[in-house]
Amino acid sequence: MIPNRLQNYLYIIFAIFILISCQKNNDDITTNPNNKTEVKRLIALGDRFYNNKKIDSAFYYYNKVKFICNPITDSENFVSTVNKMADIQQNQGDYIGSESTVTEAMPYLKYVKNPDFAWNTYIILSINYLNTNDYKKAILYNQKAFELKSKPWQKLAAENNIAIILIEEEKYNESLQIFLRLLSKKEVTSDDEFHAKVLDNTGFCYFKINDLKNAIHYSNKSLEIREKGKRPFDLGKSYFHFAKYYEKTNPLLAKKYMLSSYTQFTISNTVEDRMSSLKLLIKNSSNQELKKYSVIYVNLVDSIFEVRQKAKNQFAKIKYDSKKDRDENLKLKTHKVENQLQIEKQKNRNIISYIIIVITLVLILVLYFYLTSRGNKEKIEATYNSETRIAKKLHDELANDIYHTMAFAENKNLSLVENRVQLINNLDAIYSRTRDISKENNPIITSEKYNFYLKEMIAGFNTPHINLLLNGIDTISWEKIEQNKKITVYRVLQELLVNMKKHSNATLVSITFKTTDKSIFVTYTDNGKGIDLNNITFRNGLHNAENRILAIKGTIDIDTAPKKGFKVFFEFPL
């Protein structure tokens, strides 16, 4: 229940905000000039930077176009510009940001006469959904693109996209039927690049339904075309599929194709495909080769994560700054037209501001006492949950073993050597389980030996089946870090490693520590099966980790998807 006094404050704030909103609505009734000459100039600038691969500058000018272009009277320029911005974000791996941008064009497609613009919008959306594993929506927007009155090759491209999505859904027979139908079209066979792509995907579908003969036949036909075209990305795709075909039957030949695909993807600078080739090489390598490719893979994952994060922030800042500039320009124009009126309005705003400040201070006090009370309650609940969890572990993991051991001792002749050995083994197993439970819940040593115990805890997860890489931990001056922050780092990494061991089937784990003058950065990466963040079995573990980092005024970012590994990046101030 909300106290009556607090409820009254909320009513007052609501009324004030309505007043301010009405005032802003009156201020903002200005016409946006339809300056087509300026729009064309800015689009030309954006296109020039895009062609020169200066995508940040291109995005900047396209964003300026979006704000001055009238989406109704000049819908084609507006939609095409928004599509270009979404395409740039998509190419940088920011699929969520790309989806958010391209949906701004959706309400104005009805004003566009040329179906090419709608086709581009739907295809961009379908690719975003494909890369975020929303296959249902990805197919839906390809079907929308197919239903448009567009060119024949565009319809065929939409069909091809649907077939590729069906491969991701492991519906290989359905996908194969589409590819075989496409191979009968003259628009496909007359375009070498498209033809080779369809042949290669046809071969891959045959491989997935265990028809290796047809798989190699179609893939060879594709490779013949691609070797003539000499496009590195296309050659890399063909070599990658041949590596999969021969992985079990001819490992040496498969290894050769893996290396060839990695080389071609490196030349074409397609990072995701390079990572796929590296995964295959890691899976089929050992000893020094395994270590070499694992280090390359980890460095590549770190690099792409940092680049994509930087791109996301950069594009978000460009959009924010443009909106801010636009709002400021509108305010300046309003000031020129209604100068005297603005003086009176400013007086009213000052009064309202003072009222808001007073109310805000009161709310802050109320919120402070509320959060303090809730924090104490959460501490009590956390203690109870911890005790309950330990009790459940003792019951589930030890009670039955102890009972069976007692029954064994009562019913077996302990004078026999084999019975005594069995009893000792049972007791040793019970001791090990008890020690693990104790170790998981024991207090953390945060003295000068903290670094040693942190490394010891992490090393405990290194097994013959899990290769664990630890970088930069000794570069951190742990003695200068607060006790609660050291405890948080210990518990968060312990939570991530326990989840990895239980759920991920990972064979390679990397933990990297970095420090600056103001912050410490920790990156956890594994090559496990990955997860769908909307449907996970250990949500409480991740929730606990997030709460711990937020409690020390840090930030945490989770990057994962099914079959694409698991990565967590967190940082906190010194």
| Residues 345-364 pLDDT 10s | 788 888 888 899 989 988 89
Strands 467-471, 555-560: pairing is unpaired
Question: In whole angstroms, what is the distance from residue 12 CA to residue 16 CA?
Answer: 6
CA distances (Å), origin 360, targets 266, 367, 532: 55, 10, 39
Average pLDDT, rounded, for the chain = 83
Name the one residue in this structure whose structure tokens are 């636009």.
326
Residue 229's CB: how many other CB atoms inside 10 A? 11
- Choose between 452 and 327: higher pLDDT: 452
pLDDT value, residue 28 = 44
Strands 566-573, 555-560: pairing is antiparallel
Percentage of the chain modeled with pLDDT above 70: 79
Mean pLDDT for 552-561 is 90
pLDDT value, residue 311 = 57
Whether 22 shows a pLDDT value over 50: the answer reads: no
- Choose between 379 and 244: higher pLDDT: 244
Question: In whole angstroms, what is the distance from residue 207 CA to residue 507 CA?
Answer: 26
Give the DSSP H/E element, type plus range, for residue 523.
strand 519-526
255: Cα separation from own chain's centroid = 30
pLDDT value, residue 396 = 60
pLDDT category at 405 given cuts 50, 70, 90 is confident
Percentage of the chain modeled with pLDDT above 90: 40
- CA nearest to 345, candidates 18, 13, 11, 24: 24
pLDDT category at 436 given cuts 50, 70, 90 is low
Question: In whole angstroms, what is the distance from residue 301 CA to residue 107 CA?
Answer: 37
488 exposure class (CB count in 10 Å sphere: 0-12, 13-18, 19+) = buried
pLDDT value, residue 4 = 53
CA distances (Å), origin 84, targets 34, 120, 124, 126, 493: 21, 9, 10, 15, 40
- Choose between 165 and 320: higher pLDDT: 165
Question: In whole angstroms, what is the distance from residue 446 CA to residue 453 CA?
Answer: 9
Whether 27 shows a pLDDT value over 50: the answer reads: no
- Choose between 384 and 427: higher pLDDT: 427
Whether 41 shows a pLDDT value over 50: the answer reads: yes
Instruction: Note the maximum CA span of the chain.
Output: 106
- Residue 183: CB partners within 8 Å, gap ≥ 6? 189, 195, 198, 199, 202
pLDDT value, residue 520 = 94
- CA nearest to 43, candidates 71, 69, 23, 22: 69
DSSP 8-state code for residue 560? E
Whether 240 shows a pLDDT value over 60: the answer reads: yes
Residue 545 contacts residue 555 (beta carbons within 8 Å): no
Whether 25 shows a pLDDT value over 60: the answer reads: no
DSSP 8-state code for residue 466? B
Whether 29 shows a pLDDT value over 50: the answer reads: no
Name the one residue in this structure whose structure tokens are 């001056």.
477
pLDDT category at 415 given cuts 50, 70, 90 is confident
Backbone angles phi, psi at 338, to 5 degrees: -125, 55
β-partners of residue 522 are 513, 570
pLDDT category at 26 given cuts 50, 70, 90 is very low
- Residue 212: CB partners within 8 Å, gap ≥ 6? 206, 245
> Which range has the worst mean pLDDT, 47-56, 240-249, 295-304, 479-488?
295-304
pLDDT value, residue 31 = 42
pLDDT value, residue 335 = 55
Give the DSSP H/E element, type plus range, for residue 511.
strand 508-515
pLDDT category at 331 given cuts 50, 70, 90 is low
Name the one residue in this structure whose structure tokens are 């201070």.
361
Name the one residue in this structure whose structure tokens are 């280090």.
295
pLDDT tens by residue, 48-87: 999 998 888 889 888 988 888 999 999 999 999 999 999 9
Strands 467-471, 519-526: pairing is unpaired
- Choose between 340 and 207: higher pLDDT: 207
> Which range has the worst mean pLDDT, 63-72, 112-121, 379-388, 502-511?
379-388
Whether 318 shows a pLDDT value over 70: the answer reads: no
pLDDT value, residue 326 = 56
pLDDT value, residue 507 = 92
Torsion sign across C-alpha atoms 225, 228, 233, 239: positive
* Radius of gyration of the chain, Cα coordinates, nearest whole angstrom: 31
Three-state secondary structure call for residue 48: helix
Helices (H), 463-507: 483-499
DSSP 8-state code for residue 566? E
- CA nearest to 548, candidates 437, 390, 382: 382
Residue 520's CB: how many other CB atoms inside 10 A? 21
Whether 439 shows a pLDDT value over 70: the answer reads: no
Helices (H), 209-270: 212-229, 232-246, 251-268
